[in-house]
Amino acid sequence: MQHFPIFLAVAGRRIVVAGGGETALAKLRLLRKTEAHLTVFAATPDAGVEALAAEGHIRLVRRAFGPGDALCAVLAYAAHDDAAEDARVAALARADGALVNIVDNLADSAFITPAIVDRDPVVVAIGTEGAAPVLARAIKADLETRLPPTLGLLARLGKAFRHAAEALPMGRRRRDFWADYYFNSGPQAIDKHGEMGANVALDLLLGHHLAAGDRVGHVDLVGAGPGDPDLLTLKARKALDTADVVIHDRLVTPQILELARREAILIDAGKEGFGAAMAQADINALIVRHGRAGAHVVRLKAGDPTVFGRLDEEIAACEAAGLSWRIVPGITAASAAVAAIGQSLTSRGRNSSLRTLTGHDTRGFAEHDWRALARPGEVAAIYMGKKTARFLQGRLLMHGADPATPVTVVENASRPDQRVLSVTLDRLEPALTDAALTGPAIIFYGLAPREALALSLPADPALTPLNEALS
């Protein structure tokens, strides 16, 4: 980040603008939203600038900007569209101690003016460090449609009510009250009865929350999906929005953790101390401890929590502790991985059943019905199979599987570093070891990437390097 976004206190302070043309006027339109004192220096101002002066919105000084004109000003804009004149103004204003912006000259400016979405007191500032003004405008347009026009009013009323809301204890109960107001009762009341309605709603809501007493904790067992934040369900997003504590697996990506409520406590249950995995009993105890303390706990698991997620043990712990719980499903790794190779997990005439296997279980390499799997047309999605590939390969071949059966390994499915390794059963090892995968991987037994897809992706870094290395 080359520019750090802040909100500058300008109410009652001076901002000077040098220039009286269209460029200056555009800046003045924005600056008029503030409570700053605006002074414009222009020898020959345009009619628009004259009009602002006539209406008393700005003080207009009908001469060129000179030494000392930016004294006590927090900001100074050089807005002449004339490089030499703007440079002269900038040097003088800097000497007066103001932060200087030369319009459309990023390099010589001390600050930039963002695109603004104004729902005062809620203000969204969008900046691209000059890289893509078109993008900033598109984001602004998007936010303008998404944020209701009443948001500002809601926030102003809320601000005036802050003192009253202190009757609720700080922390979770007060937060619940505000969440209820901003996202539920407040907008409804404004829609129906306007400002009066929102004020009444605040009073009623506070009474309601005061009467409700302490809330007990709750545990959401949430699927985080395979890694791409866009593959989170809306329910998972909402749970993350309101979580007090997020206890997550090692496989949950930072981009997803980023979405947790800013005040939430994040606990990595995949690691402890110097990297050893936290024991399941300790994770259960952690969930229960936070739940009992009244927290909304999100137990965030990679993929779908019901697939190889030791979910039953965590549910049993919640029930034993008398905590309410809910499962929020997620997209399992096999779904994301099969999408990456353009295939379907089941297919008419090929396989009418799908096996979901784990390469190893708590006792080591997992045994399966190898004879059944070895039959032609079988398809299996193998989780946690990287280290057990040689064992799987040996067992399957031993039970009569065709050595030419396609096997596809998808590493980091749905993530930017996704890679695909396509081989046959007899070549699975040492190919897999040679490929030295470092991320989580799904092994599809009985599935090859769709041919058309493989052909259409010769330049795709996700598909080529491994396959080339192996051919």
CB of 236 to ligand SAH, least distance (A): 13
Does 251 participate in binding ligand SAH (rule CB under 6 A)? yes
Name the minimum Å distance from CB 278 to ligand SAH.
15
- Residue 384 found at the interface with ligand SAH (CB under 6 A): yes
- Site mask for ligand SAH (CB under 6 A), range 363-382, x = bound: --------------------
* Count of residues interacting with ligand SAH (CB under 6 A): 23
Judged by beta carbon, residue 19 or residue 226, the one nearer ligand SAH is: 226
Is there a contact between 260 and 266 (Cβ–Cβ < 8 Å)? Answer: yes
- Comparing CA positions, the residue from 444, 445, 462 lying closest to residue 453 is 462
Instruction: Point out the residue whose Cβ comes nearest to ligand SAH.
Output: 303
φ/ψ of 368, rounded to 5, equals -140, 180
Could you give the angle at which helices 186-212 and 172-180 cross, rounded to 10 degrees?
A: 150
When the beta carbons of 308 and 445 are compared against ligand SAH, the nearer one is 308
* Residue 449 is a binding residue for ligand SAH (CB under 6 A): no
State yes or no: residue 441 binds ligand SAH (CB under 6 A): yes
CB of 242 to ligand SAH, least distance (A): 23
C-alpha to C-alpha distance for 251 and 300, rounded to whole angstroms: 10
Query: Which of 69, 86, 220, 304 is in the footprint of ligand SAH by CB under 6 A?
Result: 304
Residue 337 touching ligand SAH (CB under 6 A): yes
Nearest alpha-carbon partner for 27 in 64, 76, 65 = 76
* 103, 189, 307, 432: which one binds ligand SAH (CB under 6 A): 307
442 in contact with ligand SAH (CB under 6 A): yes
Among 332, 351, 393, 408, binds ligand SAH (CB under 6 A): 332
Q: Is 308 in the site for ligand SAH (CB under 6 A)?
A: yes
Nearer Cβ to ligand SAH, position 217 or 226?
Answer: 226
Residue of the chain from 20, 440, 446, 449 that contacts ligand SAH (CB under 6 A): 440
Query: Of 284, 412, 422, 467, which one interacts with ligand SAH (CB under 6 A)?
Result: 412
CA dihedral 329, 333, 338, 339 (to 10 degrees): 60
302 binding ligand SAH? (CB under 6 A): yes
Spatial separation of the C-alpha atoms in residues 62 and 414, rounded to whole Å = 61
Stretch that binds ligand SAH, among 48-56, 192-200, 231-239, 412-420 (CB under 6 A): 412-420
- Catalytic residue set: 249, 271
Is residue 227 at the binding interface for ligand SAH, with CB under 6 A as the rule?
A: yes
> In the bound complex, what is the minimum distance in angstroms from residue 345's beta carbon to ligand SAH?
13
Closer residue to ligand SAH, CB minimum distance, 77 or 383 = 383
Closer to ligand SAH by CB, 295 or 384: give it: 384
Rank residues 99 and 448 by Cβ distance to ligand SAH and give the closer one.
448
Cα gap 41→121, rounded to integer Å: 30
Asked if residue 226 binds ligand SAH (CB under 6 A), the reply is yes
Long-range CB contact pairs, 201-209, < 8 A, 24+: 202/157, 202/158, 202/161, 202/164, 205/177, 205/180, 205/181, 206/161, 206/164, 206/165, 206/167, 206/168, 206/177, 209/168, 209/173, 209/176, 209/177, 209/180
Which residue of 410, 421, 432, 466 would you call a contact of ligand SAH, by CB under 6 A?
Answer: 410
**Smallest separation (angstroms) from ligand SAH to the CB of 414:** 6
* Nearest residue to 86 (alpha-carbon basis) of 67, 108, 68, 69: 108
Nearer to ligand SAH, 260 or 341 (CB): 341
Which structure tokens are listed for 27? 């800046």
Binding map of ligand SAH across residues 181-220, x = CB under 6 A, - = no contact: ----------------------------------------
How many CB atoms sit inside 10 A of residue 8's CB? 12
Does residue 301 interact with ligand SAH by CB under 6 A?
yes
**Residue ranges binding ligand SAH (CB under 6 A):** 226-227, 251, 301-304, 307-309, 332-333, 337, 383-384, 410, 412-415, 440-442
